[in-house]
Structure 1
Amino acid sequence: MEEQKPYVLILQETKVSDPLDPIFNLIWRHPWHVEVVPSIGLSGGIVVAWNSDFINVKDSLKGVFTLSLVCSEVDSDFEWVLTGVYGP
């Protein structure tokens, strides 16, 4: 992440069952924000993380295997929907 400096990351098969876990939260510090679809047991899980210095998230919709965010750029009114999909 340091080298490429992405604004948004989508991670699948995260196995994150508790997004409030302190270790998980050590990874995602300001300016990073996250939305999570928790894993079911040891399979699945989606994390979408974004750098709030560049991206605003206006809304989110979580499904069993999907996570969609309504995003916009901080510098403009350009809006788009980002969807992460995980299929077992």
Structure 2
Amino acid sequence: MKEVKNLSGGELQRLSIAITLATEADLYLLDEPSANLDSSARMEVAKIIRRTMENRKKTAMIVDHDIYFIDIISDFLLVFMGTQGL
């Protein structure tokens, strides 16, 4: 087992997401959950977030630059380009 200070960026990101999803909340706010993750980890995390929200019947508000990641997770998508929402 590694100490937290020795975790890679992707490992820290997955740990942060796990800690967040381990809490009970009505609304989960996730800021760039795909950051520092390779493509396979992105897919795994996307599925975990989606499944967790569905099983708990909860909502997540997610900000991310990876539109494909968001598309896997979300039922509803709002895209901002510049300062205008589309």
TM-score w.r.t. length of structure 1: 0.28
Structure with more strand by fraction: 1
- Please, what TM-score do these two structures have when normalized by structure 2? 0.29
